[in-house]
Amino acid sequence: MRNFKKILGASAASVLTAGAMTVGIVAAAPGTGTIDTTGPNSTNTVTFNTRDTRSVHNTNHVNVHSSNPQASSTGRAEVENNTTGGSAMSGAASNASSMRANLSVSNASSSSAVMNNGSGGSNSGSISDTGPSSSNHITFSGTTSATVTNNNNVNVSNWNTQHATSGSAEVSNNTTGGNAVSGAASNNSSTDVTVSLNN
């Protein structure tokens, strides 16, 4: 009587798809193949095809826009057509503006996971007690592919238009004239932007 025994292995796959900050991973289980006590002239095959594909796509959009137009002015101070004129003083005009933005984007956790995790263990196989003229094969085929794609778009714009005008101070047409003082005009702007991206 001819004893014919044929063993076929399984196929396992590991696939990872990670978003910007979230990672999920499925590991391929290790395979074990055994061919034992086969008959003469038999063909016995164990085949493991393992494919591990990992992919991370990070798309980060950072937009900072600041628009701050400012204008200030003081009125006109005038002393004229008096026998005894006093002093004319125009007040100060001032602008102050400050814009600060501190942004940080990190995709390190997902990128690290796709490169370092998901190990499926090791495969093992054994062939023993085979019959005469039998053909026995144990084959392990493994493929691992890891891809990380980072798309970072950073746009920072600051538009700051300032205008300060001090009004006129005038003393005229007086028998005795006083002092004319025009106030100061001042502009002050401060911008501090820090953007940090870590993929």
Q: Which residue bears the tokens 């006590």?
A: 37
Band (pLDDT 50/70/90 cuts) for residue 24 is very low
How far CA 146 is from CA of 20, 22, 116, 181, in Å, comes to 16, 16, 10, 74
User: Which helix (H) or strand (E) covers residue 112, if one does?
Assistant: helix 108-116
**Average pLDDT of 175-190?**
79
Structure tokens at 20: 């910007």
Residue 118 burial by Cβ neighbours in a 10 Å radius (0-12, 13-18, 19+): buried
74 or 21: whose pLDDT is higher? 74
**Average pLDDT of 117-139?**
81
Summary mean pLDDT of the chain: 76
Instruction: Collect all residues with Cβ–Cβ distance below 8 Å to 158 and sequence separation of at least 6.
Output: 65, 66, 99, 191, 193
Structure tokens at 186: 């001042």
Q: Which residue bears the tokens 């600060």?
A: 100
Q: Which residue bears the tokens 């502009």?
A: 187
Instruction: Collect all residues with Cβ–Cβ distance below 8 Å to 48 and sequence separation of at least 6.
Output: 9, 10, 11, 12, 31, 33, 123, 139, 140, 141, 142
Q: List the domain boundaries for the chain.
A: 11-198
Q: Is the pLDDT of residue 132 over 70?
A: yes
**Average pLDDT of 151-163?**
86
Q: How high is the pLDDT of residue 119?
A: 54
User: Which helix (H) or strand (E) covers residue 109, if one does?
Assistant: helix 108-116
* pTM (two decimals): 0.53
